[in-house]
């Protein structure tokens, strides 16, 4: 007899979970607060799959960096001060996690998750005829200054110790690797295992695929409460009435703590706002995706277009666009790519999205001990698209009673219980 699963959240993590659960034979229903064509942080992001990003957000130096940048309206990272107990609790936990020991423990986990997701994307690209433009040409970490370049060299050495190839490039070598754009830089590090895609194409293909496979969608449907008993979720109360299933997966992104209200779960999370601007016809187009390291700006070619994305603005569930943050991104670009200037971006709309950030920089993936049929898949911060498929695959294994194919004990949703 087939079993049913109710997935709350229609972002990349929720849809990936729906895909792999359907492959396991589950009857799947996805509940999404937005309409079918809803916007979400899965659409306007940088579209990168990044094994090179093995250092969690909670890392040495981030607390001091955040304090220094707090009152700079154009800075790439800030926490908006608010007298909210949830924010103060999150900030304290973030501060405690931002140490070298945590990075050393987390790096192999993040490496394995990203590499696992990369394999999933390769399989999905082959299945779809590469409907979402997966490009496997690596990533450049581009450094403007010598001190930053030295820091990136040390990270490249750490990557190599983790089995991740990384090549240190002089400015001349970087120009030879990517002749499509003129750079003014101190050097770069090339990570060949990273890749990129067009996120809106991936989400459209995945939604269509799920519909064809019989997955049901409850669009424009918000969760309003829960009916529980005997340590199980009996039903989910929504604006369209009660929905029930054998298994429930909470994959609500930044809204996960709000949706989970009433379940008694301790799930520290803050929304980190990011922005992007997409040039439809850039004057120069790199072949590789890249990170402008000091500016913390991601650059991704997407078909004929070129997307610039950046900032981590911890502001609560606020999706408004701050022009100063956008200006900070735009002002940084000519320092690395001198051919670009303000006129290239004049009149282009900016996009913003909220990324769910746990205090230790690791996602919540797995069952909670409080309810026998409830699993969590949230808190991926800037790596939601990169880690979406592997998260969905791991959750589907858990739902099926299998041992997860990766060790995810460090990702327990109950680690702050």
**For 11-56, what is each residue's pLDDT tens digit?**
999 999 999 999 999 999 999 999 888 877 788 999 999 999 999 9
Say which CATH class 55-97+133-196+269-357 falls into: alpha beta
**For 88-114, what is each residue's pLDDT tens digit?**
999 999 999 999 999 999 999 999 999
User: Which CATH architecture does the domain made up of 4-42+201-268+361-411 adopt?
Assistant: 3-Layer(bba) Sandwich (3.50)
**In sequence order, what are the residues at sequence separation of 6 or more whose Cβ sits closer than 8 angstroms to the Cβ of residue 413?**
265, 267, 364, 365, 366, 367, 368, 375, 376
Domain ranges of the chain: 4-42+201-268+361-411, 55-97+133-196+269-357
Burial 114-143 (b: 16+ CB within 10 A, else e): bbbbbebbbebbeebeebbbbbebbbbbbb
CB 138 within 8 A of CB 195: yes
**pLDDT, averaged across the chain:** 94
CB 311 within 8 A of CB 275: yes
**For 188-237, what is each residue's pLDDT tens digit?**
999 999 999 999 999 999 999 999 999 999 999 999 999 999 999 999 99
Tell me how far apart the terminal alpha carbons of the chain are, to the nearest angstrom.
Answer: 34
Report the relative pairing of strands 139-143 and 289-292 from DSSP bridges: parallel
Using CA atoms, how far apart are residues 284 and 178, in angstroms rounded to an integer?
A: 11
Specify the length of the chain in residues. 417
**In sequence order, what are the residues at sequence separation of 6 or more whose Cβ sits closer than 8 angstroms to the Cβ of residue 264?**
370
Using CA atoms, how far apart are residues 79 and 393, in angstroms rounded to an integer?
A: 33
């Amino acid at each position: 007899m087939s079993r049913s699963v109710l997935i709350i959240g229609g972002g990349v993590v929720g849809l990936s979970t729906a895909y792999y659960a359907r492959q396991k034979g589950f009857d799947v229903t996805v509940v999404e607060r937005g309409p079918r064509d809803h916007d979400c942080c899965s659409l306007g992001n940088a579209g990168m799959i990044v094994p090179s990003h093995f250092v969690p957000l909670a890392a040495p130096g981030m607390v001091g960096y955040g304090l220094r940048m707090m009152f700079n309206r154009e800075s790439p990272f800030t926490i908006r001060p608010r007298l909210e107990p949830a924010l103060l609790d999150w900030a304290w936990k973030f501060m405690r996690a931002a140490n070298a020991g945590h990075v050393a423990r987390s790096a192999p986990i993040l490496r394995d998750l990203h590499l696992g997701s990369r394999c999933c994307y390769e399989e999905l690209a082959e299945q779809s005829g590469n409907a979402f433009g997966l490009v496997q040409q690596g990533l450049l970490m581009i450094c403007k200054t010598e001190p930053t370049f030295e820091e990136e060299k040390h990270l490249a050495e750490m990557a190599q110790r983790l089995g991740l190839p990384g090549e240190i490039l002089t400015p001349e070598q970087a120009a030879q690797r990517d002749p499509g754009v003129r750079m003014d830089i101190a050097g770069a590090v090339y990570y060949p295992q990273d890749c990129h895609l067009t996120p809106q194409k991936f989400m459209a293909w995945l939604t269509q695929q799920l519909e064809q496979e019989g997955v049901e969608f409850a669009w424009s449907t918000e969760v309003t409460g829960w009916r529980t008993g005997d340590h199980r979720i009996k039903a989910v109360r929504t604006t369209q009435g009660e929905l029930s299933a054998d298994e429930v997966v909470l994959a609500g992104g930044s809204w996960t703590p709000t949706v989970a209200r009433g379940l008694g779960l301790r799930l520290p999370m803050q929304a980190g706002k990011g922005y992007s601007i997409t040039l439809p016809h850039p004057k120069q187009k790199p072949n590789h995706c890249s990170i402008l390291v000091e500016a913390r700006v991601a650059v991704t070619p997407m078909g004929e277009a070129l997307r610039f994305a950046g900032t981590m603005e911890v502001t609560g569930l606020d999706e408004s666009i701050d022009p100063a943050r956008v200006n900070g991104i735009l002002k940084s670009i000519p320092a690395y790519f001198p051919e670009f200037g303000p006129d290239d971006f004049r009149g282009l709309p900016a996009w913003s999205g909220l990324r769910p950030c746990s205090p230790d920089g690791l996602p919540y993936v797995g069952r909670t001990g409080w309810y026998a049929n409830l699993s969590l898949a949230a808190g991926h911060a800037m790596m939601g698209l990169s880690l979406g498929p592997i998260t969905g695959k791991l959750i589907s294994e858990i739902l099926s009673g299998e041992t997860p194919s990766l060790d995810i004990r460090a990702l327990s949703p109950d680690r702050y219980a």
